[in-house]
Amino acid sequence: MNSRRSFVLGAGGAAVSLMAGKASANSRVRVAVLGINGRGTDHIRGFNALPNAEVVMLCDPDRNLLTERAEQFEAKYHRKVQTEQDLRKVFDNKEIDAVSVATPNHWHALATIWACQAGKDVYVEKPGAHNIYEGRKMIEAAHRYNRIVQHGVQLRSSEAIKEAVELMNKGGIGNVYMARGLVFRWRPSVGHKGNEPAPEYLNWDIWQGPVQERPFTRALVHYNWHWHWDYGNGDVGNQGIHETDMCMWGLGVGLPTRVTSMGGKFLWDDDKETPETLTSVYHYPEQKKIIQFEVRPWCTNTEGGVGVGNIFYGSEGYLAINGYDSYEVFLGEKREPGPKRKAGGDHYANFIKAVESRKTSDLDGPVETAHLASSLAHLGNISYRLGRQLQFDPATERFVGDDDANKMLTRKYRAPYVVPEKV
């Protein structure tokens, strides 16, 4: 039992009680942003733009990056911000009400669980979890500690996208039987980077977290970890989580019973482990529905005007979602234009609203979406890595009669960074 687990078992209940009342007692929800290289910079802007929230702490294992972001923060917001390299110290800080997790994928679930145990509410970037086991543990932690956990799938706060789902539910394109998720992104070669000593400004132990220890390499830090299985999940588990979530939301389905996925690296000899090109199919035979998901890099066309987004197919037409805040309908054999709308929303504001109300029903992207949307991507990746079609039981969240596939539902954790069986 690690020291963090010992702390939360001893003090978790008191911490929850203290923090549950803090948001309502203060005029602003005090937020710490964990991970500040990529998405974290948007988290800083998003929360600081709200009248009832403020970013008061930045956390990252990279000390140089912390110094740079803190200087930028003070220049823009005319106040200082606290900095910390070790996220465990953020969780122990009683002045923090909520954490916003923008770390690499392999840290998302454990950071969320530890934050819940310490009485913090959580906004967590996609994918919510690095594997299927972790996603279920996130749900358990959020429920046990009565925490507000928002998944960073901004489409769910878009007024236009909400309207699109309602339109499909009312039969606007007839019987909706298929969804496509499209991720056509410009992804160049990352080249080859060898191992080297970790730089002194980077806490390499914390950066690795739950992953088994390995030598430092610039092939991982700061962005290209996305293309390595230990840390990322490829583009279906990166940009694609917005679209896996949208597929399931629009079709009104959970996890599938049959999965098949094929692809590979066809363009470059580089350090990427995950496939550049990937096509996955998720089948729901009892519901007579199917999801097709496609990842393409580099030179490609759009489909129905969509390069990153979703297309839903019904008996009377199809509905295209392009990006995060717009949809268009095309009806009949001649694809005549139907309803369309462009209107966004504020996912950060939605999270803070729920933090203040203490109602999970106020959340547009509750913790369950973090688990399900991420799991759809994981299922496709597991099928790809094993090279065969898989049978899955959504009720047990296990593969049917397949020990090799079931081993890939979780990972071997490195102490003390362990996602516990009992949260």
pTM attached to this predicted model: 0.93
113 is written with which tokens? Answer: 């669980």
**Distance (Å, whole) CA 309 – CA 142:** 29
CB 94 within 8 Å of CB 20 = no
Q: What sign has the CA pseudo-torsion 186, 130, 323, 285?
A: positive
Q: Would you say 392 and 379 are in contact if contact means Cβ atoms under 8 Å apart?
A: yes
Q: Is the dihedral of CA 105, 109, 114, 115 positive or negative?
A: positive
pLDDT single digits (tens) 40-91: 999 999 999 999 999 999 999 999 999 999 999 999 999 999 999 999 999 9
CB of 107 within 8 A of CB of 101?
Answer: yes
Sheet holding 98-101, edge to edge: 82-84, 53-59, 29-34, 98-101, 121-124, 149-151
Q: What order of strands is seen across the sheet that includes strand 390-393?
A: 336-342, 326-331, 317-322, 308-314, 176-185, 289-297, 277-284, 258-264, 390-393, 398-399
Spatial separation of the C-alpha atoms in residues 95 and 404, rounded to whole Å: 45
- Give the chain's residues under pLDDT 50: 1-25
Strands 308-314 and 149-151: unpaired
List the structure tokens of 21: 């009342």
Cα–Cα distance measured from residue 141 to residue 139, given in angstroms and rounded to the nearest whole number? 5
From the list 259, 254, 308, 261, the residue with the least C-alpha distance to 280 is 261
Total Cβ atoms within 10 A of residue 63: 15
pLDDT of residue 26: 57
Compute the distance between CA of residue 2 and CA of residue 25 in angstroms, rounded to an integer.
33
* Residue 24, pLDDT score: 42
- For 267, phi then psi, to 5°, come to -110, -45
HEC per residue, the chain: CCHHHHHHHHHHHHHHHHHHHHHHHCCCEEEEEECCCCHHHHHHHHHHCCCCEEEEEEECCEHHHHHHHHHHHHHHHCCCCEEECCHHHHHHCCCCCEEEECCCHHHHHHHHHHHHHCCCEEEECCCCCCCHHHHHHHHHHHHHCCCCEEECCHHHHCHHHHHHHHHHHCCECECEEEEEEEEEECCCCCCCCCECCCCCCECHHHHHCCCCCCCCECCCCCCHHHHCCCCCCCHHHCCHHHHHHHHHHHHCCCCCCEEEEEEECCCCCCCCCCCCEEEEEEEECCCCEEEEEEEEECCCCCECCECEEEEEEECCEEEEEECCCEEEEEECCCCEEEEEEECCCCHHHHHHHHHHHCCHHHCCCEHHHHHHHHHHHHHHHHHHHHCCCEEEECCCCEECCCHHHHHCCCCCCECCECCCCCC
- Domains of the chain are 3-155+348-366 (3.40.50.720), 159-192+205-345+377-400 (3.30.360.10)
CA atoms of 379 and 54, how far apart (whole Å)? 37
